[in-house]
Structure 1
Amino acid sequence: MTDPRFFVDAWDPAYGASFEAGGGGPAAPSSAQVDADAELPAVDWRAIGPRPGVRAPDVVLLVDGVRRIDASVWTAEDDGASFPGLAASYAAGVVRCDLERGAAQLAGAKVGRGLFTASPSAVDVVAGSVRYPVHRVSGTGELNKLPAAVQGPLTALEVEVSGAARTDGDLLVVDGPLRNRRQLPRTLGYIKTQHSQYLDARLTAVVTGLAAGERSPVFRLGTAWGGWSWYLRLPVALGAPWAGIVRMECSAELTVDEAVELADLSLVTLPRFASTPYKDPRAPQNLIPIAGLERRLRALLGDARLLHRVLTAAARARR
């Protein structure tokens, strides 16, 4: 018996893995309904390269958001009950890449903060010159579920900043799933970490067999958010089967022809933004403009230690 082959993931282990298999292993199927016969019949699935005549748009907008927990808090209710909470900061921004001029610039950024808790008596927290408005969550507000509550306001902030920067004919790329941003025109969701396999083993083999600069056929996902999807492989050195592979999304409200048009557009647009391992520990999936935007946004959140101190002082002042 020959020893099995193995590969080393290009990502720095501190950031997880570019493909995260479930407990059943990489071949474990997702429970989502998949229509693989959208662009091509499933029996004819093959790698698709750039189509003649398709060119990248003149302007590409890349939007991302970051969040940080500044402090964990607890409330003391009049009836003796107590509720956990999170004081969180979050920021969203958009980078405008002018491909015609070969220039990129920050087109907009905003910072938000909030106190996320199920406490019925919680009020806004003012910590120095910073305000944390109350975002009251439903249910009992368990502490381990509160971080997810930050995603809604963060997504709304991403929609706001990207909408203000849009121009006719541009392409908007959202870092992560589209979720409730599917109504935005000419918008792609960019998923760089693959948590699930949606395709059967034969179709997955087409995906892992993609060469750099190739994509899979478009398929339709029947998940809660739904939508058209496809995989593409960014420029990457030979390595693990999923190295350099990202999954793309676009709105389910589009026709299959419109989805295929966006898939072709993504293939001639995104590879130019791919990062390199010596510059980014999540290369090539962490696109260069996104990496720079993340650094800028984290700086805009402010000093975490200072905010923790002023939050602590604000809590003491209320006792």
Structure 2
Amino acid sequence: MFMQFHVDAWNPGFGSSAEATDRGPTASSTAKLDTNIEVDAKKWQPIDPPAGLSAPQRVLLVDGVRRTDARLWIGLHPGLACSYAAGVVECTPGQAKLAAAQVQRTIFTSAEEVSDVGTAPARYRAVCVQGADEAGLSNAVQAHLTELEINISSLARTDDDLLIVDGPLRSRGTLPRALGYVKTQQKQYLPESLVGIVTALKPGQRTPVFLIGGIYQRITWYLKLPGGSGAPWAGIVRVECSAELPEHEAIRLAGLSAVTIPRFASVPYKDPRAPQNLIPIAGLEKRLRQLLGDPKLLHRALVRASA
């Protein structure tokens, strides 16, 4: 079946911008909290890593990137032609290497009668998202990227590793020994009485763990990385694990995060998002964007296919 479509000439990347990583949360969250898991909320104070605790010998860091190569119109239905990739960096003492990576190209559209477009390596498989507007199509892209990250993670796992996912865990909470790493703080989860504990953290220290309720319920804590400016939230990241874990296991993972994540912190002269944008993640992002291919060539391929 031949599918007719029109490629929008507007640059799909226009208007994107990086977010500051050292500003504090800009909006309050209405999620229900339990701040009494590890210690009573009235006794909260910065927590140092347990004495003698060492980082795992094998740490896997997972990330994905996505790019809209073109906006399409299939009849009266919108479409997004996207390239996205996921990869895993394996970090062992003195070494970091790309353990696995995969690229996919997909056209997401609300049109019901769709077919794949182009030829390899610029072939896009077609996916129908019924009734979706562009925001719904963008959500579908993210869902497929998350699924790809889960699949790529399984290719590199062993029984003694620690998996760190760049971003919230969400549906990846079922992965064993997995941590979500949130480097930009957009929501204010804690009450004002506990925010001062976060901003008082010293490098390597963390807050007690607490529970965030909602659709993606999770156990979480704040951690301070070395470096950063003098701003109150500089170097503060939020780490999370599955709420399905026993409390003692979540606390153990919190301790592991405090002796593991800070050693990957970036420095300002190498990365403007330092220290939150971890060095292995920055390298992985760069490699994955290379694997996505030349956007101009892909855009031209889509225009030719639409002719």
TM-score by length of 2: 0.92
1:257 aligns with 2:248: yes
Mapping for residues 85-96 of structure 1, pairs under 5 Å: 85-96=79-90
Residue 18 of structure 1 and its aligned partner are, at CA, apart by: 1.4
Kept in 2: contact 1:127–1:314 (CA 8 A): no
**Could you tell me which amino acid in structure 1 is paired with residue 106 of structure 2?**
G
Q: Which residue of the other structure, out of 19, 31, 40, is the alignment partner of 1:16?
A: 19
Kept in 2: contact 1:128–1:310 (CA 8 A): no
1:286 aligns with 2:277: yes
* Structure-2 separation of matches of 1:222 and 1:103: 38
Residue 128 of structure 1 and its aligned partner are, at CA, apart by: 5.7
1:134 aligns with 2:123: no
Q: Which residue of the other structure, out of 157, 168, 175, is the alignment partner of 2:166?
A: 175
Q: 1:144 to 1:152 in 2, by over 3 A?
A: closer
Q: 1:128 to 1:161 in 2, by over 3 A?
A: closer
Aligned partner of 2:53 in structure 1 is: 54
* Structure-2 separation of matches of 1:126 and 1:225: 37
Kept in 1: contact 2:227–2:275 (CA 8 A): yes
Equivalent residue of 1:125, what SS? coil
1:45 aligns with 2:55: no
Equivalent residue of 1:131, what SS? coil
CA deviations over 1:14-36 (Å, ceiling 9, x no partner): 522115667xxx4x531100100
Residue 146 of structure 1 and its aligned partner are, at CA, apart by: 2.1
Mapping for residues 17-32 of structure 1, pairs under 5 Å: 17-18=20-21, 26=26, 28-32=27-31
* Structure-1 separation of matches of 2:298 and 2:228: 42
Kept in 2: contact 1:19–1:195 (CA 8 A): no
Query: Can you give the 5+ residue segments of structure 1 that lack an aligned partner in the other structure?
Result: 1-12, 77-81
Aligned partner of 1:125 in structure 2 is: 117
* Structure-2 separation of matches of 1:20 and 1:241: 8
* Structure-2 separation of matches of 1:36 and 1:292: 35
**Could you tell me which amino acid in structure 1 is paired with residue 105 of structure 2?**
R
**Could you tell me which amino acid in structure 2 is paired with residue 18 of structure 1?**
T
Aligned partner of 1:113 in structure 2 is: 105
Kept in 1: contact 2:89–2:284 (CA 8 A): yes
Mapping for residues 75-90 of structure 1, pairs under 5 Å: 75-76=74-75, 82-90=76-84
1:69 aligns with 2:68: yes
Cα-Cα RMSD: 1.5
Runs of 4+ in 1 over 6 A off after TM superposition: none
Equivalent residue of 2:69, what SS? strand
1:98 aligns with 2:97: no
1:225 aligns with 2:216: yes
Aligned partner of 2:8 in structure 1 is: none
- Identity over aligned pairs, percent: 55
* Structure-2 separation of matches of 1:150 and 1:127: 21
* Structure-2 separation of matches of 1:21 and 1:266: 21
* Structure-2 separation of matches of 1:19 and 1:31: 23
1:187 aligns with 2:187: no
* Structure-2 separation of matches of 1:132 and 1:269: 39
**Could you tell me which amino acid in structure 2 is paired with residue 162 of structure 1?**
S
Query: Is 232-241 or 250-259 further displaced after alignment?
Result: 232-241
Query: Can you give the 5+ residue segments of structure 2 that lack an aligned partner in the other structure?
Result: 1-15
Count of residues in Structure 1 that have an aligned counterpart in Structure 2: 292
* Structure-1 separation of matches of 2:24 and 2:110: 33
CA deviations over 1:85-137 (Å, ceiling 9, x no partner): 000000000000012xx111000000011000111112111246422111211
Q: 1:315 to 1:237 in 2, by over 3 A?
A: closer
TM-score by length of 1: 0.88
Kept in 2: contact 1:118–1:136 (CA 8 A): yes
Query: Is 89-98 or 236-245 further displaced after alignment?
Result: 236-245
Equivalent residue of 1:188, what SS? strand
Q: Which residue of the other structure, out of 270, 288, 299, is the alignment partner of 1:297?
A: 288
Equivalent residue of 2:71, what SS? strand
Kept in 1: contact 2:173–2:241 (CA 8 A): yes
Residue 153 of structure 1 and its aligned partner are, at CA, apart by: 1.1
